[in-house]
Structure 1
Amino acid sequence: MNPLFLAYGSLGGAIVCEVIATTLLQKSEQFSKPLPTAAMALFYIVSFYLLSQALKGVPLGIAYAVWGGLGIVLTAMISVLLLKQSLDLPAMAGIGMIVAGVIVMNVFSNSVSHG
C-alpha cells in the first residue's frame, strides 16, 4: 500500500480519535465520571500513537497543523451539534480562517508531500 496514503490515513484516524477524546473530556465533568475519563484517556493515547505513525510520511509541522486545525473545526461542530453550545460570528470567522489556512498549506505549500 502507498506509504503516503497510510500516513494520511493515520493522520485522519488521529484527528477523529482526538475529537472523540476532547468530547469525552467535556463529558468527564472535570474527571469526576470514571467511564468517560477512562475512555478519554484511551482515545488520546490512540490519537497520539496514530499521529506518530503519520509522521512516517508527513512532516511534523504539516501533520500537527492539519491535526490541530481540523481537530478545532470538528470539535467546534460537535460542540454546536451535539452539546448544543453556540458560536458567534467572530468564532465562526476564526474557524473559517483555520480551514482556509489548512487548505492553503495543503494545496500550495512545497512542504506537503503530494505523492
Structure 2
Amino acid sequence: MIYAFLIVAIVAEVIATTAMARSDGFTRLVPSLISLVGYGLAFYLLSLVTRSMPVGIVYAIWSGAGIVLVAAASWLLYGQKLDLPAIAGIVLIITGVLMINLLSKSVSH
C-alpha cells in the first residue's frame, strides 16, 4: 500500500507541475487550482509514505521519478526538445531510482 501512495504522490506532482506551466503565474484559475490540489495531495501522501520509509529514500524516488515524468510530459504535451545530454541524464535518473528500489537495503520491501 505504501508504494501505491508513493506512485499516486508522484503522479499528483507531475500533473500539478504540468498544470503550473499553463497557469501563467497563477493568473489562470483552472490550471492554478489543479496545481494547488495536485501539490497538496502529493505532499499529504508523501507524509504518509515517510511513516514507513526513510525520508531520504522517499524523496529520491519521488523527485527522480517526477523529473523523468515531467520531462516526458513536457516533450509529449508541449513539444519540449530533449537533446542527447538531457536524455542521458534522464537515463541516469531512472537507473538511480531502479538501483535504490531493487538493490538498496535502505528501502523496506
TM-score by length of 2: 0.96
Structure 1 residue corresponding to 2:6, chosen from 11, 17, 28: 11
State the distance in 1 between where 2:24 and 2:56 align. Answer: 32
TM-score by length of 1: 0.91
1:26 offset after TM fit, Å?
0.2
Contact 1:7 1:56 in 2 (8 A): no
The letter of the residue matching 1:92 is I
* SS of residue paired to 1:28: coil
Query: Structure 1 segments of 4 or more deviating over 3 A?
Result: none
State the distance in 2 between where 1:81 and 1:36 align. Answer: 18
Match of 1:3 in 2: none
* Runs of 5+ consecutive residues of structure 1 not aligned to the other structure: 1-5
Q: In the alignment, does 2:79 pair up with 1:87?
A: no
Aligned residues: 109
Q: In the alignment, does 2:48 pair up with 1:53?
A: yes
Q: Render the CA deviation track for 1:32-85: whole Å, top value 9, x for unaligned.
A: 212211221111001100111111222111110000000000000000011111
Match of 2:104 in 1: 109
* Runs of 5+ consecutive residues of structure 2 not aligned to the other structure: none
Identity within the alignment, %: 49
State the distance in 1 between where 2:24 and 2:88 align. Answer: 29
State the distance in 2 between where 1:7 and 1:68 align. Answer: 16
Structure 2 residue corresponding to 1:77, chosen from 47, 50, 72: 72
| CA RMSD after TM alignment | 0.9
